[in-house]
Amino acid sequence: MKILLLLLTLICSASCQSQTNSKMNENKTNPLLCDPVSGTCEMPMGETSNETTVISTENKPVKIIYYTDPICSSCWGIEPQLRKLKLEYGDYFEIDYRMGGLLPDWSYNSGGISKPSDVAHHWDEASLHYEMPIDGDVWLEDPLDSSYPSCIAMKAAQIQSKDKAVKFMRVLREKLYLEKRNIAKWQNITEAAKTAQLDFDKLKKDYDGEAKKLFQDDLNLARTLGVRGFPTLFFADENQNKLTVYGSKPYSAYENALLALYPEAKKKKVPNDTTFSLFEIYPTLTPKEYAVIFNISYTEAEIILEKLFEKGKLSKKTIKNGSLYIKK
């Protein structure tokens, strides 16, 4: 049965991009045009390695290598599914967050995008599709010239603490998608680091040193693994059985991949009460995240969260395409 399950292919035809292709100007694919239907942003085809990569499990039965980028809108779109997977099956897997470098610079013209302002409307559409708050006006008001600074900052944060690094990337994304802050700027990276309780002096030192090498290692591994876009999640067990989930998929796709590799995993029940106890684990939540975690409708989640807000138990940040509820 396990072998049959491992034949399951969880693939999508498009993905968000790790740009390491030196001939990008000749390619019509653009990394910032994420296809909401497939849940990915198509990548240009770069050179790949024929090496066989061993994904080693360490402390838990399943290892997940997650290729992402702080500015990948499709990756923001799977936050609800990943948060739920951690709650229900976190005892059985660990995630290795790898950065892909979605936007090296603006030295290309493809896919109908030649400048930052071309991205704004696309991001607003992605927000409506994923039901996750994104304000595309950042590309009009304070556009990013590259995603490399935030990727390198993530590698620097991981040197200090894997857990704090995950919080750090969450804060970076909230700044970008809701506050329209340019997270390529060091001032905004600094603010996110403080919120995630990182040692800022060490972060800056590592950013200027070891983190750049670690980021290059991620780009090299991406080529070896044949990463075609973001989000890409590689699931592996101790016997080197592997499954890959490309793009933004329903929760069941991630759950099924894990169970195919480790059928013994037992789902932990998340208590479906109307308190704000979930905010002790995740201090900020969107209605979509709350809905996916508790398997209720978006409207039901919004009603519950709004009541908690009205009672003064939560604060709220609202933008044109949705809201974020925050533990006080």
Q: Residues 145-167: what's their mean pLDDT?
A: 97
Query: Distance between CA atoms of 309 and 176, rounded to whole angstroms?
Result: 23
Please give the pLDDT value at position 94. 97
Q: Where are the alpha helices (DSSP H) in the chain?
A: 2-6, 73-77, 79-89, 120-130, 138-141, 148-160, 162-177, 186-195, 200-208, 210-225, 251-261, 287-294, 298-310
CB 265 within 8 A of CB 272: no
Q: Residues 276-303: what's their mean pLDDT?
A: 94
Model confidence at 324: pLDDT above 60: yes
Please give the pLDDT value at position 229. 87
**Could you give all domains of the chain from N- to C-terminal order, each with its CATH number?**
41-47+55-268 (3.40.30.10), 270-327 (1.10.10.10)
Per-residue pLDDT tens over the stretch 181-195: 999 999 999 999 999
Model confidence at 2: pLDDT above 60: no
- Within 13 Å, how many C-alpha atoms sit on residue 131's CB side? 15
Per-residue pLDDT tens over the stretch 72-108: 999 999 999 999 999 999 999 999 999 999 999 887 5
Please give the pLDDT value at position 52. 65
Please give the pLDDT value at position 110. 55
In the chain, what percentage of residues exceed pLDDT 70? 81
183: which 2 tokens? 């997270």
Per-residue pLDDT tens over the stretch 192-242: 999 999 999 999 999 999 999 999 999 999 999 999 889 999 999 999 999
Q: What is the pTM of this model?
A: 0.87
CB 223 within 8 A of CB 49: yes
Q: Residues 311-321: what's their mean pLDDT?
A: 95
Model confidence at 21: pLDDT above 80: no
Please give the pLDDT value at position 9. 32
Q: Residues 28-43: what's their mean pLDDT?
A: 59
Please give the pLDDT value at position 35. 64
Burial class (CB in 10 A: 0-12, 13-18, 19+), 295: exposed
